[in-house]
């Protein structure tokens, strides 16, 4: 991982890729041109990208990218059609152990991703994994802040340093859209709906945090594109109507941010200089975030998605993966930017796999799991107490909340 602190590199990005930039709010010049590609070309690209990502797996069935990168890699492989459930479950359990054994500051952003991987790899069918999932859902519910959102490392911490390397307002750990969306998504995945009090409060937080022109701020990931994808993904799994005005504003913002070459890009320093928003060169990871957001919002057949997929297919390297030379991620916005190599290897594969799945008439893996939980809850009426789990006391008026929905 490369790091860059408070560097004004946006101008150098523009010099390297001037063809990628355009005035915000204007559609690409080739708006009427929809590039064509075959299903075979897409399938071949997915197969090669999967093989390359699997080749990077280190000992212990994990990836050297760290817990977050391992979670993203597994989800990308599963969403793109890789079927190795037993080995993936082993990887998911090791990933969970990494998060669970983090006794200093378990990551509220990464823990839901680890749980999603456990669920997607059949962990719920295993007694040991089921206990882990239940325990961590208790912890996630207990970490919800008083404003309805979730922070990254701590609960109700707006003025304490959560990391020894952080400084300035980057050290604060208030609620933010990305971890809130992750927590909403995992709660929706196990069958809860918007009537569940923590979910309702989380949705209210996201409504308040949406920017006037449509996006949500990502804070720890490429800023608005990452934040908007994360929220749209959670809203989709919760079965929110994409025709609602606030979701349409987000969709419009993503489409209007598309570059002429079909990709998307956003300098990490757009969190300091709003004028840089939608003025970055196209990158594989940020293009994938935009595609994932649009796909979650029901835009699989749109011209913008078609152009974005074509951009990813045309920018692969000789390994079938993607290169990302720009600092497109943020660690502690706005102080530290990074270039995370796993982003360009995981997210484009994830986006292409989800596109292939939806265009084939299938549903997202998360949606299929949610439906199975809903059907199971209808037949069993299972209700587990929150207060029986370890961790901080729940910040809610009720004495206990169900981990899983009762009879629907």
Pairing of strands 329-332, 2-5: unpaired
Whole-number Å distance between alpha carbons of 30 and 2: 34
Q: What is the dihedral of CA 182, 235, 194, 117, to 10 degrees?
A: -40
Q: Which stretches within 121-194 are classed as H helix? A: 127-142, 177-189
Whole-number Å distance between alpha carbons of 220 and 198: 23
In this structure, are residues 166 and 331 in contact, taking their beta carbons and an 8 Å threshold? no
Could you read off the pLDDT tens digit of each residue along the chain, which spans 408 residues? 443 433 333 444 444 443 344 444 555 544 456 677 788 889 998 999 988 888 887 665 566 666 777 788 888 888 888 766 556 766 766 666 666 555 555 677 778 888 888 888 887 887 777 887 888 888 889 889 999 999 876 666 655 444 444 444 444 577 889 999 999 999 999 999 989 999 999 999 999 999 999 999 876 666 789 899 999 999 999 999 999 999 999 999 999 999 999 999 888 766 666 666 667 889 999 999 999 999 999 999 999 999 999 999 999 998 888 988 776 665 555 554 555 667 788 899 999 999 999 999 999 999 999 998 888 877 766 544 343 333 344 444 434 555 656 543
Q: Which of 107, 109, 147, 224 is catalytic?
A: 109
- E-strand ranges in 20-119 read none
The pLDDT of residue 405: 61
SS3 call for 329: strand
A 10 A CB-CB count for 36 gives 8
* Of 154, 148, 219, nearest in space to 184 by CA: 148
Residue 196, token pair as written in the block: 């569940």
Q: Tell me, yes or no, if 109 is annotated catalytic.
A: yes
Domains within the chain, CATH numbers bracketed? 2-17+35-153+175-380 (1.50.10.20)
SS3 call for 105: coil
Whole-number Å distance between alpha carbons of 214 and 4: 28
Whole-number Å distance between alpha carbons of 212 and 4: 30
Whole-number Å distance between alpha carbons of 49 and 322: 9
Q: Which stretches within 174-265 are classed as H helix? A: 177-189, 197-209, 224-237, 245-256
What is the tens place of the pLDDT at every residue in 318-344? Answer: 888 898 877 666 555 555 455 566 778
Whole-number Å distance between alpha carbons of 179 and 234: 11
């Amino acid at each position: 991982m490369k790091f860059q602190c408070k560097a004004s590199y946006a101008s150098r990005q523009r010099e390297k890729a001037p063809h990628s930039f355009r005035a915000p709010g204007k559609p690409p010049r080739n708006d009427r041109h929809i590039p064509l590609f075959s299903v075979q070309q897409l399938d071949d690209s997915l197969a090669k990208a999967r093989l390359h990502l699997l080749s990077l797996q280190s000992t212990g069935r994990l990836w050297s990218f760290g817990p977050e990168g391992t979670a993203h890699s597994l989800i990308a492989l599963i969403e793109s059609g890789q079927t190795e459930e037993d080995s993936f479950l082993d990887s998911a359990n090791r990933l969970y152990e990494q998060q669970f054994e983090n006794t200093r500051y378990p990551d509220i952003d990464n823990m839901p991703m680890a749980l999603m991987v456990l669920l997607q790899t059949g962990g719920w069918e295993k007694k040991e994994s089921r206990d882990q999932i239940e325990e961590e859902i208790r912890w996630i519910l207990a970490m919800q802040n008083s404003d309805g959102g979730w922070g990254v490392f701590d609960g109700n911490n707006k003025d304490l340093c959560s990391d020894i390397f952080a400084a300035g307002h980057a050290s604060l750990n208030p609620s933010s859209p990305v971890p809130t969306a992750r927590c909403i998504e995992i709660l929706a995945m196990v069958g809860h709906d918007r009537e569940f009090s923590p979910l309702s409060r989380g949705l209210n937080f996201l409504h308040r945090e949406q920017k006037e022109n449509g996006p949500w701020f990502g804070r720890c990931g490429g800023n608005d594109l990452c934040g908007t994808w994360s929220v749209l993904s959670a809203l989709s799994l919760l079965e929110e109507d994409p025709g609602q005005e606030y979701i349409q504003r987000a969709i419009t913002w993503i489409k209007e941010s598309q570059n002429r070459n079909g990709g998307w890009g956003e300098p990490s320093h757009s969190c300091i200089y709003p004028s840089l928003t939608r003025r970055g060169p196209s990158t594989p990871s940020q293009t994938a975030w935009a595609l994932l957001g649009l796909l979650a919002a029901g835009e699989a057949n749109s011209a913008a998605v078609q152009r974005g997929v074509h951009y990813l297919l045309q920018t692969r390297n000789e390994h079938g993966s993607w290169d990302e030379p720009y600092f497109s991620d943020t660690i502690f916005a706005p102080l530290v930017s990074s270039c995370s190599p796993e982003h360009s290897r995981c997210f484009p594969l994830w986006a292409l796999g989800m596109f292939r799945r939806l265009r084939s008439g299938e549903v997202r893996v998360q949606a299929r799991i949610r439906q199975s939980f809903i059907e199971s809850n209808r037949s069993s009426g299972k209700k587990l107490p929150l207060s029986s789990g370890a961790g901080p006391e729940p910040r809610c008026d009720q004495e206990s909340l169900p981990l899983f929905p009762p009879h629907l």
